[in-house]
Structure 1
């Protein structure tokens, strides 16, 4: 499905389920355990749950992502961003005969910021963060082999089961400890639900925001006229985030929704038991929704309602946190490095993914001028 109106309609249509038991290929055992998209189907969390399980699972974690909670996290987000920007300034490499520092923006800022925030929120120890990162990345990479897909699928379960064991023995003021308490209390959260909820919250909690920050920086650097609108006060950093979400959504397409019954939609009859791929990247460029210039990065766009965070009951829980992190990162980055530009090296490559709109890296030149770290303002609420 590629049209904005269709995706929005399907998101609230009870004829389309999220549980793969409604998929005839899954129900008949035709999907092998090493299928490259296995971690998007063989899971037991909100991603594959329908009512009444979906609201039950969502209720257990929604307290961590409310607007007041995100506001409480704002000072920590600002502090982490400031630390990473200082590290960028001191740790950038010099290339060729020039003197302008060059660094990989994704590795230096876009990845560690949301990874640190979500890890602190869920109490993930430093030693586990490094092990989780390549496993989560593999889930979004459809160029991996079947064996790699299976290892990533099993590895994520192993790592999060270890985290659960740790939090049972040494609970703390974090969301994992809270979920463990719910698992062992009256909410009847099963052990697989607990582990896969953590995988969804932690993995999706940083991988998607990493892509949002990276894509937004690239968009602004390749559209200097739009960046200039912000620097002279004619547009906002929040607008840059929303336009990036529309044009380059972190989740390009989400597997899957499944037809419970035969469905006649957009002039086509979809039989019962079929898988439907939700193509958010296409919906963000739908001329029927965004006009004839839908493929243009434009911060002055009047109508920017997008589906990057989905719609309806499955609207992304972490939307406000992602927006806060991305807005903070952009404002502080371009304030600290006003001459930031793309490095004159091989153009950035997109990761081979059905699911993600993700760059492998984003080499940038920090520029000769850099504002003192002490002058970086905290992003406005």
Structure 2
């Protein structure tokens, strides 16, 4: 990636900062260089589009609630902004246009209320025993592996998270491999647009079939609850139901699976934290929060755009500009967190933004936290001497939204 460490006084900070494909490998290199310029910077994104990347904690928090910044990417204003910034391919149309994350109030308020009624904290708490049962079953299955080295993502984190979200939505066991395949392609930047469109089309057809089945024969699952969810006589349309499933897939599967993977790779690289968690598992919830701050499973938000001229971080931004918020960068902002590169389990006031802020706070946050805590606790109890496979290198997925490993080979030490 092209790193420029100029200060604003040099005048170079007025030039767009170019994010090359290397950004996916280690975005924190770019974040550190951007901080030398300031918390709000004009950039060229890896896909060639132009916009503003917000990396400062205070500025991202402000932008989440700024009245001059919109998430309604299906609007005429968004289409014009995307086209003007070489990002026409980002226009949200077709099957996913009704996703909760692409709305402002009052539409966002309506959709969120309908979803929260069926997918609330009580629902998540009730899942804890089942998540523990699934985790233990996967760990027992791992114990039968002929080789002492296994890919912890493939054998544990991914199937655990996928099983939870599929059971929650009522997806049959036989279809879960396809569900995982579609999810991986849809959120990844490694696949060609045609391949992603094919995966999206197949996913939509499957969800439509599942909605039809649950409409005629409801089950004890979240999808059935969403179908009949009602608030003041209002219900989700078929299009909105379909998009809600995608939101839950990303929020409930991708985030949780990558949180577990990121927690393990962080722990195995930090002996002090590992000893503390083995000696006292009560520290696991705090450790999960520190992982969310330091190595967030979500990276950059989807595009927003300015509907009016605004000032953010002391920078004037015109109307019709694309805005991207980096929740990953905010977790290591030294203006907000002391010694941000250090893992500190007892870090006071760990108010990270990994799950967003305000009305766009991630609806799947309670589920991801619960899976992360249980998944890590059960793993450490079964395999306290777990270690990274000698000679293995961490490789990160090519995704602008998701920060997760492609594989996590570990030695179990039966």
TM-score tier, shorter chain, comes to 0.7 to 0.9
Listed one character per residue, the Cα deviations across residues 255-309 of structure 1 (whole Å, up to 9, x for unaligned) are 1222111111122222212221110111111001112x21222213223110001
Decide which of 105, 111, 123 is 2:170's aligned counterpart.
123
Paired with 1:210 and 1:37, the residues of 2 have a C-alpha distance of: 28
TM-score calculated relative to the size of structure 1: 0.88
Report the 3-state secondary structure (helix = DSSP H, G, I; strand = E; otherwise coil) of the residue aligned with 1:287. coil
Q: Is the 8 A contact 2:150 2:410 kept in 1?
A: yes
Q: Which is worse superposed, 249-258 or 154-163? A: 154-163
Partner residue, 2:328:
281
Structure 2 CA distance for partners of 1:109 and 1:6, relative to 1, 3 Å: same
Matched, 1:85 2:131: no
Paired with 2:104 and 2:314, the residues of 1 have a C-alpha distance of: 26
Taking the TM superposition and a 5 Å limit, the aligned residue runs for 1:43-122 are 43-90=97-144, 92-94=145-147, 101-122=148-169
Give the drift of 1:93: 3.7
Partner residue, 1:201:
248
Matched, 1:159 2:206: yes
Structure 2 CA distance for partners of 1:161 and 1:29, relative to 1, 3 Å: farther
Report the 3-state secondary structure (helix = DSSP H, G, I; strand = E; otherwise coil) of the residue aligned with 2:268. helix
Taking the TM superposition and a 5 Å limit, the aligned residue runs for 1:120-199 are 120-182=167-229, 186-199=233-246
Partner residue, 1:4:
57
Give the drift of 1:13: 1.6
Matched, 1:318 2:364: yes
Report the 3-state secondary structure (helix = DSSP H, G, I; strand = E; otherwise coil) of the residue aligned with 2:150. strand
Paired with 2:76 and 2:393, the residues of 1 have a C-alpha distance of: 40
Q: Which is worse superposed, 55-64 or 302-311? A: 55-64
Paired with 1:289 and 1:118, the residues of 2 have a C-alpha distance of: 34
Q: Which is worse superposed, 180-189 or 1-10? A: 180-189
Q: Is the 8 A contact 1:250 1:356 kept in 2?
A: yes
Report the 3-state secondary structure (helix = DSSP H, G, I; strand = E; otherwise coil) of the residue aligned with 1:299. coil
Q: Is the 8 A contact 1:22 1:273 kept in 2?
A: no
Paired with 2:82 and 2:57, the residues of 1 have a C-alpha distance of: 33
Q: Which is worse superposed, 220-229 or 166-175? A: 166-175
Taking the TM superposition and a 5 Å limit, the aligned residue runs for 1:341-360 are 341-360=387-406
Matched, 1:328 2:374: yes
Partner residue, 2:353:
307
Report the 3-state secondary structure (helix = DSSP H, G, I; strand = E; otherwise coil) of the residue aligned with 2:324. strand
Q: Which structure would you say has the larger RCO, counting Cα contacts within 8 Å and 6 or more residues apart? A: 1
Structure 2 CA distance for partners of 1:42 and 1:199, relative to 1, 3 Å: closer
Partner residue, 2:303:
256
Decide which of 235, 244, 255 is 2:291's aligned counterpart.
244
Decide which of 67, 71, 78 is 1:18's aligned counterpart.
71
Q: Is the 8 A contact 2:119 2:222 kept in 1?
A: no
Give the drift of 1:153: 2.8
Paired with 1:2 and 1:68, the residues of 2 have a C-alpha distance of: 34
Give the drift of 1:33: 11
Structure 2 CA distance for partners of 1:214 and 1:36, relative to 1, 3 Å: farther
Q: Is the 8 A contact 1:141 1:352 kept in 2?
A: yes
Paired with 2:342 and 2:179, the residues of 1 have a C-alpha distance of: 35
Structure 2 CA distance for partners of 1:108 and 1:281, relative to 1, 3 Å: same
Listed one character per residue, the Cα deviations across residues 13-36 of structure 1 (whole Å, up to 9, x for unaligned) are 221111014574624884999947
TM-score calculated relative to the size of structure 2: 0.81
Q: Is the 8 A contact 2:228 2:235 kept in 1?
A: no
Q: Which is worse superposed, 8-17 or 358-367? A: 8-17
Q: When the two structures are aligned, how many residues end up with a matched partner?
A: 360
Partner residue, 1:378:
none
Structure 2 CA distance for partners of 1:194 and 1:27, relative to 1, 3 Å: farther
Paired with 2:231 and 2:110, the residues of 1 have a C-alpha distance of: 15
